[in-house]
């Protein structure tokens, strides 16, 4: 039954700084739930964390198949965590397919926990295994802990009278219980959650709790020689305050609600279901008491048009989608630009052109956001770098939309939308309000001029229904003051300039260097969800003494005023992106700098190691710096006070014997393949 | 819909200073006048009245109405109007669309605004042609229509706007034509209907599809081909010498002769605007063998979309406080000590 195959001198450290666990199983095995609940208990234990849910595009792929594998990775630690981890230390494989798909990512010497009950001939065939990998020695370079989780689950829930099929559905809870024991996490939050979830079916709740407790007890009591040890990860020293976990989709939704409140406007949200954007519609649909109207339209075009209609009528119009839906909205966004109405468009980017990779992540809609409209149609573009950052970015998008009377594009991506991280709950009173103003009397002596601009270049907002200010707007070029149709050449020139000047004049904060010096040999410039891996990679390289800095751009369009000067202060500029080099083009276009691309479009986030390797190339050929291996320059280390790093040089957390040089923590960070 | 307080206005109050740019003799002029004549009679408030349109000759309409107006993009006016209505249900919305705008590029939106039943008046100007793009065949063009894009004659089967609307779930279907003196009455009935009221208005494009409706809409001599429907009145036409009866064998309508005014003897149907089955037959009635059914074909209100949205919000908000700080700190939280902050 319990065959703990312990080959090699591996094994987990007892109190590592950070650890990466991947739960993988069939899409029917409930791995996302397991991961989500493990995340919650980890957050409650006070660790910093980052997660990476990786699920198939199919709703219910045939059981046991390779393409039906669903995985959830979490990286948690007692220090700041930037990414979901390059490679897992622990892989939980609920069936052969899950093992096959995820094994390549596992760290050498990592621990595999496998359910032998699911390693049947049939399942092995479906995963295209000729022999049982748990038995044929092919996993020799890993620690393997294989036992019959299925059978143990059935045993645990027996008193609740469930049939085998139903009983097996609690397998994930049994596994979660074991994981909770392994990492010394509290069980009560999960108990509470199960009771709440199955309020109307207390039997099912009890059965799941029994499975969870049984998994936990197994860890506690099993006399296991070998890899199953309890591992304790200390809480991260973080700023005092109230914390919760938040996904990007939640943070965007909350930020939009906060933004509308700061603008003192009701919010109208038009959406049409699409992965991974739907979650925002779902969240907002439950927040109607905040003056939110959600409208599930007949398509993305109607969703944006309805939002613009609502903005015209005096609310804050918001719409959200992913690449294909944003493409459909394009014509209407042009109308929003032409009629100069506030509008926030959220693009949760996914992979590839057309349907592409719906459940995978990419940053390939940047051209679409910045350049992708007919006519000269300038629009501010702003990007979130992490789930929690999305809150502030959403507020900022609302601010720009309302203050400048313009559509604003907010970019997130599938990774940000789905991933969770701890979030220090912000105090809404700390945000500066930006109340919208509506014109209700003539603005030019006796006359009303719908397109007379203020000092920011914004035209007045007039609610239909306001007596005496009746006027017409539309997509046809209009007179620069009256707004009446006007095709005359000079007028169109001036209106084109006015729209451009207004957007270019949007005031955005100066660009900061988030790690390193404001000039030097190399700047790694990123935007969006590459923040985590870039930050960690740059940090690691700086610890090796490399003169490299990290700049992460929130305001993509217009860019901060100091951006050109800042970039020109570096000898080299490297732009890692999950596309074929789109932001690199924008930087070259705007500043004539020699920005070099590092691109990746595998649907998976960057790994820290691959970024470090690329950074290292900029230091080859420099005296004493071949391969980037120079002595640590203490002065270049991050400022311990201001920075968010604990400044220590941890051992490779889980296997002192690994191939990764100590003094670096790359191996526990970054993202899976 | 009905404006709450009646406002005194004259036709002049509804005219803008903008030069009207339709071709001389275009049917759109007559419709504009009919609307401008009707609104004062309804006591509408120009500040609360809005005209929203798509793209096409017909969709230029808002520029000529001294109200709030939004000339949007091709086919999407129903979506803009839906958003505006939800944002401010007090707005009295008139939607203007064409046969191409409403049934080609915007067919989807037209269908959904009707089935959702958003309270507004929807005027579809049907000239059976794409006017603004210089005369291509439209989805309502009759088979065989010669146009620049169909030089030998079109061969796709035309859509019937009123049948489309009813099929999509419209609860009001009216019909009129540009120069008809009865058009204001149809507009008034549409306005009185709470919900999406669909009005098909036959409109003469004298440049690209001249006089195609003359058989029933010519200024003189075509009255005999007009069946003006009135609730509670027998379906009579041709100076009451003919009527519409229901053939109970075939379950279809037929034209019958009425002798000496005895329509009952001839089995003529009495129009009931709430009878959906009859409405389906009226919108399908082929012109030629039958007269053109005009007036209010169907009118049977049901709850509107915006009322449902408002009711839902009231219900889910009941007893809930819109406290942002609480919302942000919702769910399972933990406190890192060194702070006095309590969980909120
Ligand atoms: C997206 C888009 N496609 C095409 C056009 C060109 N276009 C303008 S009006 C029109 C057809 C209008 O026909 P209809 O709705 O019947 O209006 P009419 O001019 O006959 O009143 C077309 C195809 C456009 N403006 N926008
Ligand atoms: S083209 Fe036809 S529909 Fe357009 S304005 Fe001229 S006559 Fe009217
Ligand atoms: Mg037309």
- Mean local confidence (pLDDT), A550-571: 98
* Whether residue B106 has its Cβ less than 6 Å from ligand 1: no
Q: CA-CA distance, B208 to B136, in Å (whole number)? A: 8
| Residue of A13, A10, A36 lying closest to A23 (CA atoms) | A36
Q: Which residues contact A236 (CB under 8 A, 6 or more apart)?
A: A46, A47, A48, A77, A78, A79, A80, A81
Q: Each residue of B92-103: pLDDT tens digit?
A: 999 999 999 999
Report the percent of chain A where pLDDT is more than 90. 73
Confidence band for A625, pLDDT divided at 50, 70 and 90: low
- Model pLDDT, residue A226: 60
DSSP B130: B
| Residue of A562, A542, A558 lying closest to A550 (CA atoms) | A542
How big is the A-B interface in CB pairs under 8 Å?
A: 210
Q: Give φ, ψ of B27 to 5 degrees.
A: -60, -20
Q: CA-CA distance, A287 to A291, in Å (whole number)? A: 8
Q: Each residue of B19-69: pLDDT tens digit?
A: 999 999 999 999 999 999 999 999 999 999 999 999 999 999 999 999 999
- Model pLDDT, residue A660: 27
Distances, alpha carbon A647 to alpha carbons A570, A660, B73, in Å: 25, 19, 57
What is the distance in angstroms between the Cα of A384 and the nearest Cα belonging to chain B? 18
Whole-prediction pTM value?
0.89
A624 compared with A537, residue with greater pLDDT:
A537
CA of B28, closest atom in ligand 1? 21
Residue reference for tokens 């920005």: A595
Confidence band for A650, pLDDT divided at 50, 70 and 90: very low
Residue pair A555/A382 in contact (Cβ under 8 Å)? The answer is yes
Query: What residues in A contact B84, CB-CB < 8 Å?
Result: 309-310, 312-313, 464
Angle between helices A300-312 and B107-116 (to 10 degrees): 70
- Model pLDDT, residue B94: 98
Residue reference for tokens 């509470």: A192
Q: Each residue of A321-362: pLDDT tens digit?
A: 999 999 999 999 999 999 999 999 999 999 989 999 988 899
Sheet holding A69-77, edge to edge: A3-6, A143-147, A111-115, A90-93, A18-26, A69-77, A48-54
Residue pair A639/A566 in contact (Cβ under 8 Å)? The answer is no
Token pair for residue B54? 């798509």
What is the distance in angstroms between the Cα of B309 and the nearest Cα belonging to chain A? 8
- Model pLDDT, residue B338: 52
Mean pLDDT of chain B: 95
| Residue of B230, B234, B163 lying closest to B198 (CA atoms) | B163
Residue pair A337/A308 in contact (Cβ under 8 Å)? The answer is no
Q: Kindly report the number of other CB atoms within 10 A of residue B284's CB atom.
A: 15
Q: Each residue of B302-311: pLDDT tens digit?
A: 999 999 999 9
Considering every ligand atom shown, identify the ligand nearest to the alpha carbon of residue B178 and give its number. Answer: 2
- Whether residue B48 and residue A465 make contact (CB cut-off 8 A), yes or no, is yes
Q: Which residues contact B215 (CB under 8 A, 6 or more apart)?
A: B222, B225, B287, B288
- Model pLDDT, residue A656: 28
- Model pLDDT, residue A230: 80
Q: Coil, strand or helix: which one is A451?
A: coil
- Model pLDDT, residue A14: 66
DSSP A15: S
For A268, which of B83, B90, B343 is closest by C-beta distance?
A: B83
Q: What is the largest CA-CA distance in chain A?
A: 90
CA B244 to chain centre: 25
Which residue of chain A is at minimal alpha-carbon distance from B86? A310
Q: Which residues contact A244 (CB under 8 A, 6 or more apart)?
A: A43, A422, A423, A425, B329, B330, B331, B332, B333, B334
Q: Is B33 in CB contact (< 8 Å) with chain A?
A: no
pLDDT higher than threshold 50 for residue A655: no
Token pair for residue B56? 């096409």
Report the percent of chain B where pLDDT is more than 70. 97
Q: Kindly report the number of other CB atoms within 10 A of residue B2's CB atom.
A: 12
Return the residue whose CA atom lies nearest to atom 8 of ligand 2: B26
- Model pLDDT, residue A623: 54
Residue pair A469/A462 in contact (Cβ under 8 Å)? The answer is yes
DSSP A68: G
Residue pair B68/B47 in contact (Cβ under 8 Å)? The answer is yes
- Model pLDDT, residue A12: 58
Query: What residues in B contact A48, CB-CB < 8 Å?
Result: none
């Amino acid at each position: 039954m319990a065959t703990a195959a312990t080959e090699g001198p591996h094994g987990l450290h007892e109190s590592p700084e950070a650890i990466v666990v991947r739960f993988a199983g069939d899409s029917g095995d409930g791995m996302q739930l397991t991961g989500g609940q493990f995340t919650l208990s980890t957050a409650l234990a006070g660790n910093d964390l980052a997660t990476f849910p990786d699920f198939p595009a199919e709703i219910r792929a045939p059981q046991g198949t390779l393409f039906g594998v669903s995985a959830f990775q979490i990286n948690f630690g007692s220090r700041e965590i930037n990414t979901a981890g390059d490679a897992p230390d622990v892989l939980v494989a609920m069936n052969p397919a899950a093992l096959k798909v995820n094994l390549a990512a596992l760290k050498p010497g990592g621990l595999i926990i496998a359910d032998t009950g699911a390693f049947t001939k049939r399942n092995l065939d479906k995963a295209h295994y000729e022999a049982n990998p748990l038995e044929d020695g092919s996993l020799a370079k890993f620690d393997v802990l294989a036992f019959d989780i299925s059978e143990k689950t059935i045993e645990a829930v027996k008193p609740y009278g469930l049939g085998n099929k139903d009983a097996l559905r609690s397998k994930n809870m049994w596994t979660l219980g074991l994981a909770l024991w392994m990492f010394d996490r509290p069980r009560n939050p999960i108990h509470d959650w199960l009771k709440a979830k199955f309020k109307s079916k207390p039997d099912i709740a009890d059965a799941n709790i029994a499975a969870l407790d049984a998994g936990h007890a197994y860890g506690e009591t099993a006399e296991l020689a070998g890899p199953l040890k309890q591992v304790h990860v200390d809480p991260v020293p973080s700023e005092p305050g109230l914390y919760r976990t938040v996904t990007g989709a939640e943070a965007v939704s909350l930020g939009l609600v906060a933004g509308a409140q700061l603008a003192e406007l009701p919010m109208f949200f038009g959406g049409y279901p699409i992965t991974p954007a739907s979650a925002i519609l779902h969240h907002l649909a439950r927040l109607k008491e905040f003056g939110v109207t959600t409208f599930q339209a007949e398509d993305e075009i109607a969703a944006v048009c309805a939002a613009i209609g609502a903005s015209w009528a005096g609310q804050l119009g918001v719409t959200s989608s992913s690449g294909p839906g944003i493409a459909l909205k394009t014509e209407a966004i042009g109308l929003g630009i032409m009629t100069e109405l506030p509008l926030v468009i959220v693009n949760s980017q996914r992979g590839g052109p057309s349907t592409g990779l719906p459940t995978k992540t990419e940053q390939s809609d940047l051209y679409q956001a910045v350049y992708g409209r007919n006519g000269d149609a300038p629009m501010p573009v702003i990007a979130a770098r992490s789930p929690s950052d999305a809150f502030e970015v959403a507020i900022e998008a609302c601010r720009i939309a309302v203050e400048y009377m313009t559509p604003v594009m907010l970019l997130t991506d599938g990774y940000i939308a789905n991933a969770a991280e701890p979030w220090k709950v912000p105090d809404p009173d700390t945000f500066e309000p930006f109340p919208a103003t509506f014109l209700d009397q003539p603005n030019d002596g006796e006359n009303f001029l719908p397109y007379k601009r203020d000092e920011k270049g914004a035209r007045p907002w007039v609610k239909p229904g306001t007596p005496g200010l009746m006027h017409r707007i539309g997509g046809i070029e209009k007179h620069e003051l009256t707004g009446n149709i006007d095709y005359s050449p000079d007028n169109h020139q001036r209106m084109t300039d006015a729209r451009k000047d207004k957007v270019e004049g949007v005031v955005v904060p100066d660009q900061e260097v988030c790690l390193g010096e404001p000039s030097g040999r190399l700047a790694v410039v990123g935007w969006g969800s590459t923040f985590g891996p870039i930050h960690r990679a740059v940090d690691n390289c700086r610890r090796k003494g490399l003169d490299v800095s990290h700049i992460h751009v929130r305001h993509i369009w217009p860019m901060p005023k100091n951006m050109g000067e800042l970039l020109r202060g570096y000898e080299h500029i490297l732009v890692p992106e999950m596309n074929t080099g789109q932001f690199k083009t924008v930087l070259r276009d705007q500043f004539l700098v020699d920005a070099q691309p590092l691109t990746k479009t595998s649907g998976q986030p960057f790994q820290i190691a691959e970024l470090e390797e690329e950074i290292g190339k900029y230091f080859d050929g420099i005296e004493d710096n071949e391969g980037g291996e120079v002595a640590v320059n203490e002065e270049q280390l991050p400022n311990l006070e201001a920075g968010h790093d604990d400044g220590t040089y941890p051992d490779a957390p889980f296997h002192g014997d690994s191939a990764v040089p100590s003094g670096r923590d790359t191996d526990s960070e970054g993202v899976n393949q | 819909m009905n404006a709450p307080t009646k406002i005194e206005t004259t036709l002049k109050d509804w005219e803008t200073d903008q030069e009207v740019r339709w071709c001389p003799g275009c049917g759109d002029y007559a419709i504009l006048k009919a609307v401008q004549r009707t609104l004062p009679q309804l006591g509408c408030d120009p500040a609360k009245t809005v005209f929203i349109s798509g793209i096409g000759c017909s969709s230029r309409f808002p520029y000529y109405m001294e109200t709030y107006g939004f000339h949007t993009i091709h086919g999407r006016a129903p979506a803009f109007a839906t958003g505006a209505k939800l944002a401010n249900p007090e707005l009295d919305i008139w939607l203007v669309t064409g046969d191409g705008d409403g049934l080609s590029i915007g067919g989807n939106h037209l269908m959904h605004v009707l089935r959702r039943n958003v309270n507004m008046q929807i005027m579809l100007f049907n000239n059976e042609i794409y006017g603004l793009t210089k005369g291509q065949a439209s989805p309502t063009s009759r088979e065989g229509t010669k146009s620049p894009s169909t030089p030998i004659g079109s061969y796709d089967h035309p859509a019937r706007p009123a049948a489309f609307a009813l099929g999509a779930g419209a609860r009001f279907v009216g019909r009129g034509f540009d120069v008809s003196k009865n058009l204001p009455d149809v507009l008034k009935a549409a306005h009185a209907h709470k919900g999406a009221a669909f009005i098909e208005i036959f409109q003469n494009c004298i440049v690209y599809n001249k006089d195609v409706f003359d058989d029933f809409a010519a200024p003189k001599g075509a009255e005999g081909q007009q069946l003006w429907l009135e609730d509670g009145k027998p379906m009579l036409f041709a100076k009451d010498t003919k009527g519409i009866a229901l053939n109970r064998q075939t379950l279809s309508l037929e034209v019958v002769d009425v002798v000496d005014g005895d329509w009952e003897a001839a089995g003529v149907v009495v129009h009931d605007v709430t009878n959906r089955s009859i409405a389906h037959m009226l919108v399908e009635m082929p012109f030629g063998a039958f007269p053109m059914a005009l007036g209010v074909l169907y009118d049977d209100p049901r709850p509107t979309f915006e009322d449902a949205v408002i009711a839902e919000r009231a219900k889910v908000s009941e007893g809930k406080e819109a406290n942002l700080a609480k919302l942000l700190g919702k769910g399972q939280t933990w406190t890192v000590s060194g702070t006095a902050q309590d969980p909120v």
